[in-house]
Structure 1
Amino acid sequence: MNAAFVAGGISPLETAESLRAELDRWKISADVHGGYGLALVSVWVGLVVWCDGDRFWWRTGWDDRRERFTYAWHPAIEPARAARRVAFRYRDLRDAPPPSEPIA
C-alpha cells in the first residue's frame, strides 16, 4: 500500500482538495499543499487546516493556563460540515482587530 494513502484509500491531498472545494462554495479562497503524508489547506493568516486523510484540524485559540494552542477537528468524510466550521473561524479572524499597528 502506498504511504500517501490512509486505510480508507483516500489520500490527505484528496481530502484537503475536497475541503478547499467546499470552502470555495463559501466564497473563501484557499491553497492546498501536500507532502510527507499530510496536506495543508492555507485559508487565512493564522488559519491553516491540516489533513491526514482521516480528519481535519486547525487552531482555535490559546490556552493561557496550559500555555499552548487549542485545536478543533472534524472527520475528513464530512468536508462540507468541516468547511462550515472553518468558515466561522475565518469570519472570526477577519473580523478581529489586527494584533498590532502596521509599521509606516
Structure 2
Amino acid sequence: MTEPYGAAERLRREFGALGVVADVHDGYGLALVSVRDGLVVWCNGERFWWQAGWDERGGRPAYASRPVSGAEEVARLVVARCAELRRIRFGERTDPGRVRSGEQAEWPRAQADERATAPEPERPQGPV
C-alpha cells in the first residue's frame, strides 16, 4: 500500500501538468486533493475516489474510483468532471473567470430554487 499523502502529491503534480492548481491535505489515514470547482479527490493509499455525478434512483452522489497507480488517468478524468461542472453552473461559458466587463456570472436559477424548495426526507413509519 502506498502512503496516502505521497499518492495525493503525485496526483497534485499530474494536475499541475494539466495546468490545474490543486492543494493536498492529509490526516486520519486519508489524503484529500482539493481541485477547483469544489471537487475533492480522496486517497487512502490504495485508491483515489471522487464524486463523478448524481445517482437519480438513489438520490445521492455517484463516485468514481481508480487505483493510485493510475494518477495520470485520474487527473484527466477529474479535469473533465470539473469542465462538466462549469458547464452545468455557468451554461456554455467554460470559465467563469472569463466574464466580459459589465457582465456577471450567475448561478442557474433552477439550482437555487431547487435548493430552496427541496422537500424534507420522509420519516420512517412505525417502530424502528
Task: Classify the TM-score, shorter chain.
Answer: 0.7 to 0.9
What is the Cα-based RMSD across aligned positions, in Å?
Answer: 1.7
Gaps of 5+ in 2: 91-106, 113-128
TM-score between both structures, scaled by the size of structure 1? 0.81
* Alpha-carbon displacement from aligned partner over 1:43-101 (angstroms, at most 9, x marks no partner): 02331000001010000122121111100111101211111111111111122225446
Using the TM superposition, give the Cα deviation of residue 39 of structure 1 relative to its aligned residue in structure 2, in angstroms. 0.3
Q: Which amino acid aligns with 1:65?
A: R
* Alpha-carbon displacement from aligned partner over 1:12-55 (angstroms, at most 9, x marks no partner): 00000000000001100000000000000000233100000101
Runs of 4+ displaced beyond 6 Å: none
Larger RCO, structure (CA 8 Å, separation 6 or more): 1
- How many pairs were matched up? 94
Counterpart Cα distance in 1 of 2:59 and 2:52: 14
Which protein is richer in helix relative to its size?
Answer: 2
TM-score between both structures, scaled by the size of structure 2? 0.67
> Which segment drifts farther, 85-94 or 49-58?
85-94
Gaps of 5+ in 1: 1-7
Aligned with 2:69 (options 77, 81, 92): 77
Q: Secondary structure at the match of 2:89?
A: coil
- 2:47 is matched with which residue? 55
